[in-house]
Amino acid sequence: MRWYVRRGEQVTRGNAVIRTLLVVAALMLTGSTTACFVEPIEQTRQSVAPTAHLRSGPQTAELPSRDVVPVADDPEPSLPVTVDSVRHGKVTVTDASRIVAVDINGTLGTIVFSLGLGSRVVGRDTSTAFPSAAALPVVTNRGHSLNAEAVLALAPTVLLVDENAVPAAAVDQIRDSGVTVVVFPGDRNLASNDDLIRSVATTLGVPTQGERLAARTDAQVGAARALVPSPSGDPTMAFVYIRGRNLILLAGPGSGADDLIKELGGKDAGEQADLSGAFTAISAEAMIKADPNVILVMTQGADTVGGPDGVLALPGIAETDAGRNRRVVQMDETKILAFGPDIGEVLASLARAIYT
């Protein structure tokens, strides 16, 4: 502490200390905040480098279980129910004994099985590939388009699809054949996740199981958030969609990957690059400029270029911080952007793979 004396004034060290203490005491008694000779001690949050907590080297993020864990054992649906169907108004579901659930990420099928209704599912999409569903007939092709004839051959009592289902003519054909069709929103993000779970449960007449599943999912998301360092350092993360060396896209706003990255304590490279679309082809120069600290990929996409080593050899990636430190994290394509009941475990697995 420094002591200041006006020119010509004689002040002993002992007198100075006493005088200062008296002033401080007076200020404390009066509650005055106009002056203080003692600088307050503040707890400041230290800044953390973006790479402070990151692992180096390729990582594979895997869920604790490859199969779905239902919240109930074959609950009895309470039907009929009337629900909203996107772009088609009100639809009444009277029978959930033979269910086909289809969307590009396998989210609807995962929800149905997680509700405990897996024994009633008679057909699936290519992304609904967990062990308890794997033996079911597939009603979509590798491009995720719906095959109306394959669906109708299974004599379903209800078809669940989302608004992104293609071709639209196939959905119309199934509806015109007398099958009850319920269309759900196509967005996949945390904000709408619980609503989607509850909507599917209500549609199939098991709303109680829907509440239980949403609560379990929320608890797992909370546990995953606790695995992210605080502060994280805000590392820049890039979700790169790969299908061979000639199809490389960077995820941006609305892709779902931006939601994951935010929950993982990172900054989305797509947003940093001012992308406007969910997935955008970018040049090697743009990737270098984005300079992500971590690169997230689908395992099956990485396999098309030779695995994580092949990803690191792609144009522009080797010159990024992620490339120099070989920070590539891969996860199964049927899980990483599916959201639904698995989102908490997906986030937890990614957090463990990204951070030390």
Query: What is the residue extent of each domain of the chain?
Result: 1-39, 81-205, 228-354
Nearest to 253 by CA among 232, 272, 234: 272
Check residue 21 and give its pLDDT. 37
Would you state the structure tokens that stand for residue 254, as one six-digit string?
A: 């609305």
Q: Residue 18 contacts by C-beta under 8 Å, 6 or more apart in sequence? A: none
Q: What is the per-residue pLDDT across 173-199, written as a single tens digit (0 to 9) for each?
A: 999 999 999 999 999 999 999 999 999
The average pLDDT across 133-143 equals 93
Would you state the structure tokens that stand for residue 99, as one six-digit string?
A: 């269910």
Would you state the structure tokens that stand for residue 23, as one six-digit string?
A: 């002033």
Domain 228-354 has CATH 3.40.50.1980: yes
| C-alpha span between 25 and 19 (Å, rounded) | 10
179 burial type by CB count under 10 A (0-12 exposed, 13-18 middle, 19+ buried): buried
Are 94 and 80 in contact by the 8 Å Cβ rule? The answer is yes
Q: What is the per-residue pLDDT across 18-67, written as a single tens digit (0 to 9) for each?
A: 343 333 344 334 444 433 434 443 334 458 999 999 999 999 999 999 99
276 burial type by CB count under 10 A (0-12 exposed, 13-18 middle, 19+ buried): exposed
Check residue 46 and give its pLDDT. 59
Q: What is the per-residue pLDDT across 209-258, written as a single tens digit (0 to 9) for each?
A: 999 999 999 999 999 999 999 999 999 999 999 999 999 999 999 999 99
pTM: 0.85
- Strand-strand pairing, 248-251 and 158-162: unpaired
Nearest to 295 by CA among 61, 104, 77: 61
Say which CATH topology domain 81-205 has: Rossmann fold (3.40.50)
Check residue 26 and give its pLDDT. 40
Identical fold for domains 81-205 and 228-354, yes or no, is yes
Nearest to 85 by CA among 158, 155, 163: 163
Neighbouring-strand partners of residue 93 = 81
Q: Is the peptide bond before 167 cis (omega within 30 degrees of 0)?
A: yes
How many C-alpha atoms does 340 have within 13 Å on its Cβ side?
Answer: 28
Q: What is the per-residue pLDDT across 294-316, written as a single tens digit (0 to 9) for each?
A: 999 999 999 999 999 999 999 99
Q: What is the per-residue pLDDT across 76-115, written as a single tens digit (0 to 9) for each?
A: 999 999 999 999 999 999 999 999 999 999 999 999 999 9
Task: Quote the Cα angle for 178-164-335, to 5°.
Answer: 110
Q: Is the peptide bond before 75 cis (omega within 30 degrees of 0)?
A: no
Share of the chain above pLDDT 90, in %: 84
